[in-house]
Amino acid sequence: MEQTQARTRLHNFLEDIRYSIDTEIDLGERKVNGIFMGAMGGSAIASNIVANCCAHYLDMPLTTNRSPIIPKWVGKDTLSIIATYSGNTDETLEMYNKVKATGAVMVVITSGGKIKGIAEKDGIPVLTVPTGFQPRYSAGFMIGYIAAIMSSIGLPEFKNRLKGCLASLENYRNYLESPGSLAYLLADKYKGSVPVICTESKYKCVSLRWKAAFNENAKTICFDTALSEFRYCEQNPWAEYKGKNLRLIVLTGENDLAAGGPVNNAVKNIESLEFPFDLVAVAGSSHEERVFRALILGDYVTVYMAEAAGIDPETTPVITELKKRIRGEK
Amino acid sequence: MMVLLPYNISKAISEQYGRRVTSDMVSDVPSRSLPEHIRESLEIKVPEQAKASMVCLFNFEASGIAGDTVSSYVFSNSEVQVHTMVDRSVPAWVTEKTDVIIMSYSGNSPEIETIYDVAMRKKARIHCITSGGKLAELCRSNNGNLLRIPAGLNNFEATGYEIGALVNLYEAMGITGIKDAMTSVLPSLIEYRDSVWDSRRTLNISEEMRNRVPVIYSVGELRAVHKRCKMLVNQVLGRLAFAGELPEFDHNEIVSWTEDRNSDEFLILMFRIKTDSELLNRIQDTVMELLPEYDLKIQVIDLEGGLMERAIKGIILADAVVCSMKGGV
């Protein structure tokens, strides 16, 4: 298959961040003590990415909720960001109604749909994402908007740090687009396999994104696991695994490979068990840069896999069918 | 610069961290007395604590099963925020106003010293649930709040005691009602245990799992169940297993399940419950109706009861299934 539309969306990911990150948002003077983000699927991953990047400096928790059931602690002192690309995601609409009833400070990110009309009627700020592509390709806009929202309540660090590494990320993206890049190499390597992505929790957003990208772009089953859990109970099962399809990928930052560190020791232990695996260690001058490099890499790998297999990475008919049935439509 | 290192090389073992699971641990089997262990543990008095508003709960080894079971009640019934961590990362928002709970049955998880040190420097209120080890030593020597649970159990046998201890701790921290809620479901848990242990249902699930890699799905409230099930398969049976959650499943994972020919290797185990959200209930039902149309091997397990009760029933069923696979322990 020739180059797909998905490739254009990937290329524009960083431009999408630039488009939205400096948006001015007026949320008034209310103080908040926690950030709640309600979203599903491709719209939720932006929240996981921001939360992973900020965990070591953000002075309040940023929680991602992927269910119509919301925690009872959401209240008037919570900043609630509700994101649905289509604006019609049923779970997110239910979250919106429940959060609104708590009196939380709210912002909506969407391309339109039902939620846009409802939020505008309710007087809640709506940040608009362009229409015309799959929700997972809207992550750039959403990340930029979340950074802008946080900045508007006096938390500008993520925005500044992300802006500081965009130029370097663009160079990395350009490298991945060149023939023979690591993304092409991995796309070829994982053809026909079932990848299992293993990370520390600070890269959880990357394993989630890779998993979803393998699932949706490459139509490939993929699992993820935490390094701590892997160390505790998965090592021997991997050593005993007799199948050929499952392939372990330990994904980490290059800076976490220092001798004596937990990742390095876990890797040595895996070596000792003698089953094949890959170590993908991402370079970068900050945690944000490493996270975003890893995210971009996974997106390109999976789109290249799809293109090599003659699959359109954008189509997901079973999701459309499932949503129809959930709504009772024939 | 990106480094990719393909590994298939035999080298010296590093035992210091990421230790290899020993044969003793592989023989770990859960106990059928989990409800009785909860009851026993609930009877232990925990002195009243300062009222909590923000909890950072660190779970290690199989302790996450108890942590997730109890936290599901707090999520829906209390304004206290509970944020669960599974490794060495201590979030920046932890302060002197935060209650840090460190739960590790052995007390010797490699991350413990780092976490304890960071939590101390941040002047957080520290509570430890453990049978001993480094964690008990640190907690004692730094005047933390130590909740000891019996030593000499395997990690799966410890779950009941950990659940009881955490319930007591939350109650003492001002999350009222949780202890009564837990106590009130114990008879139902015992009845359920007696009905499923060695039952035909349990044997059927065991048979289905025997030659396939189980992939366990449930709604987020039952995280403890899919975690328990996966860890049991990993540790007791020494086999791979994976887990995931609904409704996230129907936003991306379902695509690969219905299009990837590698799906033959797996058995999908779906735990289903009736939640307070009609939408979530409909999603569960629709997913389970749709998947068999794609020739996927799927087992649906319905769990009844309220918060915590249905999660613990799922744990009991998983224990019974794995014990039956291990040889009727």
Residue A320: CB partners within 8 Å, gap ≥ 6? none
Q: Is the confidence at residue A76, as pLDDT, over 50?
A: yes
Q: Is the confidence at residue B328, as pLDDT, over 70?
A: no
> Å from B144 to nearest chain A CA?
24
Which residues on A lie below 8 Å from B77 (Cβ)? 72
* Residue B173 main-chain phi, psi, to 5 deg: -90, 5
DSSP states along B247-287? TGGGGTHHHHHHH-GGGGGEEEEEEE---S-HHHHHHHHHH
The reply to whether residue A278 touches residue B4, judged by beta carbons under 8 angstroms, is yes
Residue B129: CB partners within 8 Å, gap ≥ 6? B63, B101, B102, B103, B104, B147, B149, B162, B165, B166, B169
| A278 touching B (Cβ < 8 Å) | yes
Q: Is the confidence at residue A274, as pLDDT, over 90?
A: no
A222 within 8 A of A207, measured Cβ to Cβ: no
- What mean pLDDT do residues B138-161 have? 95
Of B4, B20, B75, the CB nearest to A72: B75
Percent share of chain A, pLDDT over 70: 99
Chain A from 167 to 186: CB within 8 A of any B CB:
182, 185-186
> Å from A228 to nearest chain B CA?
6
The reply to whether residue A322 touches residue B287, judged by beta carbons under 8 angstroms, is yes
pLDDT reported for residue A117? 98
Return mean pLDDT, chain B: 89
Which residues on A lie below 8 Å from B98 (Cβ)? none
* Residue A328 main-chain phi, psi, to 5 deg: 80, 20
Question: Which of B4, B98, B112 should be substituted to probe chain A, the one whose Cβ sees the most A Cβ atoms within 10 Å?
Answer: B4
d(CA B150, CA B159): 11
The reply to whether residue A235 touches residue B20, judged by beta carbons under 8 angstroms, is yes
The reply to whether residue A245 touches residue B265, judged by beta carbons under 8 angstroms, is yes
B2-7 and A277-282 beta bridge pairing: antiparallel
> Å from A198 to nearest chain B CA?
12
Q: Give the residue carrying structure tokens 């245990």.
A: B193
Please report, for chain B, the start and end positions of each structural domain, with discontinuous segments joined by +.
Answer: 11-184, 197-326
Tokens of residue B190, six digits: 């015992």
pLDDT reported for residue B2? 41
The reply to whether residue A267 touches residue B7, judged by beta carbons under 8 angstroms, is yes
| A314 touching B (Cβ < 8 Å) | no
Looking at residue B129, the DSSP 8-state letter turns out to be E
| A25 touching B (Cβ < 8 Å) | no
Q: Is the confidence at residue B281, as pLDDT, over 90?
A: yes
Alpha helices in chain A (DSSP H): 5-21, 41-54, 90-102, 113-122, 139-152, 157-176, 182-189, 204-216, 227-229, 235-240, 262-273, 287-308, 317-326
Choice among A49-53, A57-61, A97-101, B324-328 with the minimum mean pLDDT:
B324-328
Q: Chain-centre distance of CA B52, in angstroms?
A: 23
d(CA A224, CA A196): 5
The reply to whether residue B247 touches residue A246, judged by beta carbons under 8 angstroms, is no
Name the residue among B269, B253, B257 with its Cα closest to residue B302. B269
d(CA B69, CA B159): 10
- Matching fold, domains B11-184 and B197-326: yes
Q: What sign does the CA torsion over B33, B38, B39, B44 have? A: positive
List the single residue in B with minimal CA-CA distance to A251: B4
| A309 touching B (Cβ < 8 Å) | no
Pairs of residues, one from chain A and one from chain B, whose beta carbons lie less than 8 Å apart: 272
The reply to whether residue B18 touches residue A266, judged by beta carbons under 8 angstroms, is yes
d(CA A185, CA A195): 15
What are B47-85's pLDDT values in tens digits? 999 999 999 999 988 999 999 999 999 999 999 999 999
Of A40, A245, A326, the CB nearest to B282: A326
- CATH fit for domain B197-326, picks 3.40.50.10490, 3.30.450.40, 3.40.50.360, 3.30.2130.10: 3.40.50.10490
pLDDT reported for residue B18? 28
Name the residue among B201, B232, B234, B240 with its Cα closest to residue B323. B232
| A83 touching B (Cβ < 8 Å) | no
pLDDT reported for residue A259? 86
Q: Chain-centre distance of CA B295, in angstroms?
A: 30
> Å from A118 to nearest chain B CA?
19
Q: What is the ipTM of this complex?
A: 0.94
Q: Is the confidence at residue B14, as pLDDT, over 50?
A: no
Which residues on A lie below 8 Å from B16 (Cβ)? 260, 265
Which residues on A lie below 8 Å from B220 (Cβ)? 66-67, 69
Q: What does the radius of gyration of chain B's CA atoms come to, in whole angstroms?
A: 20
The reply to whether residue A269 touches residue B238, judged by beta carbons under 8 angstroms, is no
- CATH fit for domain B11-184, picks 3.30.950.10, 3.30.390.30, 3.40.50.10490, 3.40.50.300: 3.40.50.10490
Confidence of residue B9 (pLDDT cuts 50, 70, 90): very low
pLDDT reported for residue B13? 23
Of A73, A94, A326, the CB nearest to B81: A73
Q: Is the confidence at residue B22, as pLDDT, over 80?
A: no
What are A145-175's pLDDT values in tens digits? 999 999 999 999 999 999 999 999 999 999 9
pLDDT reported for residue A1? 56
Confidence of residue A2 (pLDDT cuts 50, 70, 90): low
The reply to whether residue B255 touches residue A326, judged by beta carbons under 8 angstroms, is no
pLDDT reported for residue B156? 94
d(CA A229, CA A237): 12
Residue A190: CB partners within 8 Å, gap ≥ 6? A214, A218, A220, A247, A301, A305
Which residues on A lie below 8 Å from B276 (Cβ)? 69
| A23 touching B (Cβ < 8 Å) | no
What are B198-238's pLDDT values in tens digits? 999 999 999 999 889 999 999 999 999 999 999 999 999 99
Q: Is the confidence at residue A64, as pLDDT, over 70?
A: yes
Q: Is the confidence at residue B20, as pLDDT, over 50?
A: no
> Could you give the 3-state DSSP secondary structure of residue A24?
coil
The reply to whether residue B60 touches residue A228, judged by beta carbons under 8 angstroms, is yes
B54-59 and A277-282 beta bridge pairing: unpaired
Residue A123: CB partners within 8 Å, gap ≥ 6? none
Looking at residue A137, the DSSP 8-state letter turns out to be G
- Ranges assigned E (strand) in chain B: 2-7, 54-59, 81-85, 98-103, 125-130, 145-148, 213-219, 242-246, 266-272, 298-302
Report the predicted TM-score, pTM, of the whole model to 2 decimal places: 0.93
